[in-house]
Amino acid sequence: MREDGPVTSATERPPEPQLPEVRPSAFPGGRVRLIATDLDGTLLRDDKSVSERTVAALAAAERAGIEVFFVTGRPARWMDVVSDHVHGHGMAICANGAAVIDLHRDGLFLAVRPLDRSDALAVVGTLRAAAPGTSFAVELTTGIHYEPEYPPFYIDPVATIGPAEKLLSPGWEGSDQPVLKLLAHHPRLAPDEFLALAREAAGEHASFTRSSPTALLEISGRGVSKAATLAHCCAERGIAPEEVVAFGDMPNDVEMLSWAGTSYAMANAHPDVLAATSARTVANNEDGVAVVIEEILAAQRPR
């Protein structure tokens, strides 16, 4: 999820790597049953649009019997960018695996894997001590709420503004809603430095990742990730990891990319993603996901 608005994927984009040719042998077993793709910095261009080429590739994959899952850090309310391009099942995985929604039914929540409020409060206290100056936001199934010091990445006119301790307290008016994520921002630390510090200090309470070029951490329940929820959805469908091709660009994609049988880093990806993937494709602004989908369809076409 990017609570910091329309920005590109990485703080400093590495030089574009030499791209290997995509050949049929790149797809294990010669058959792909599901494509899992991140959105920002991956499927979407930097202006948050979906190109005509990508729209056509997604539709062609579904016609060929390949399911397409959007797997993103975005909350359900930010899925309008792709809601018109969902076919078949209509499901999407949001909030880094904390929610499964039905885009055919206005983002109806089908499953939620929340962050326990006691764990969220423990994270808040720990990070306040370990990284003074940290500010927080709380993402519920109904919307986001944040502290006064939290940067104005995204202004929600109906948000409650107050200390995280209040936003997470049992007596607050939103206390009956599941916490999808806690967000933590630091004004001075480097993004990867802040992530490493948080994991070391509070990893026993939650799962930490990032998808922003700023020092903005996304904090989910222990064991919650894009990979874990995608694996569950695939198991329900009898789809094995080796039948999945995944795409991503940022640290919150690493576990999913490591789980999938074939994984592609975008040319604009974070170094951790480049290290975790078995293949590369061109950048998001060059329709890198569509390029590979076209190759998959060509490889699986009867000859």
Judge if 129 and 210 occupy the same domain. yes
Judge if 127 and 199 occupy the same domain. yes
Choose one of 180, 198, 220: the last residue of a domain.
220
Judge if 166 and 188 occupy the same domain. yes
Is 85's pLDDT higher than 90?
no
- Name the least confident of 14-18, 25-29, 59-63, 273-277: 14-18
Judge if 150 and 202 occupy the same domain. yes
Judge if 51 and 77 occupy the same domain. yes
Q: What percent of the chain has pLDDT over 70?
A: 88
Is 24's pLDDT higher than 70?
no
- Which pTM was predicted? 0.88
Q: Does 17 reside within a domain?
A: no
Q: Which residue has the higher pLDDT, 108 or 89?
A: 108
Which tokens belong to 48? 């948050």
Choose one of 189, 220, 251: the last residue of a domain.
220
User: In this structure, is the dihedral angle defined by the CA atoms of residues 215, 218, 1 and 88, taken in order, positive or negative?
Assistant: positive
SS3 letters across the chain: CCCCCCCCCCCCCCCCCCCCCCCHHHCHHHCCCEEEECHHHHHCCCCCCCCHHHHHHHHHHHHCCCEEEEECCCCHHHHHHCHHHCCCCCEEEEHHHCEEEEHHHCCEEEEECCCCHHHHHHHHHHHHHHCCCCEEEEEECCEEEECCCCCCCCCCCCCCECCHHHHCCCCCCCCCCCEEEEEEECCCCCHHHHHHHHHHHHCCCCEEECCCCCCEEEEECCCCCHHHHHHHHHHHCCCCHHHEEEEECCHHHHHHHHHCCEEEEECCCCHHHHHHCCEEECCHHHCHHHHHHHHHHHHHCCC
Residue 139: CATH number of its domain = 3.30.1240.10
Q: Does 8 reside within a domain?
A: no
Q: What is the predicted pLDDT for the residue at 88? A: 67
When pLDDT is cut at 50, 70 and 90, the band that residue 27 belongs to is low
Q: Does 101 reside within a domain?
A: yes
Q: What is the predicted pLDDT for the residue at 154? A: 72
Judge if 197 and 245 occupy the same domain. no
Judge if 127 and 215 occupy the same domain. yes
Judge if 291 and 258 occupy the same domain. yes
Q: Does 5 reside within a domain?
A: no
Judge if 197 and 138 occupy the same domain. yes
Q: Does 15 reside within a domain?
A: no
When pLDDT is cut at 50, 70 and 90, the band that residue 77 belongs to is confident
Q: Does 48 reside within a domain?
A: yes
Q: Does 16 reside within a domain?
A: no
Domain around 172: 117-220
Judge if 63 and 145 occupy the same domain. no
Residue 92: CATH number of its domain = 3.40.50.1000
- Name the least confident of 20-29, 67-76, 141-150, 175-184: 20-29
Is 28's pLDDT higher than 90?
no
Q: Does 3 reside within a domain?
A: no
CA 268 to chain centre: 16
Judge if 208 and 126 occupy the same domain. yes
Q: Quick one: which of 187, 186, 217 has its CA closest to 203?
A: 217
- Name the least confident of 37-51, 154-168, 213-227: 154-168
Choose one of 202, 220, 238: the last residue of a domain.
220
pLDDT digits (tens, 9 = 90+) for 246-297: 999 999 999 999 999 999 999 999 999 999 998 999 999 999 999 999 999 9
Judge if 216 and 253 occupy the same domain. no
Domain total in the chain: 2
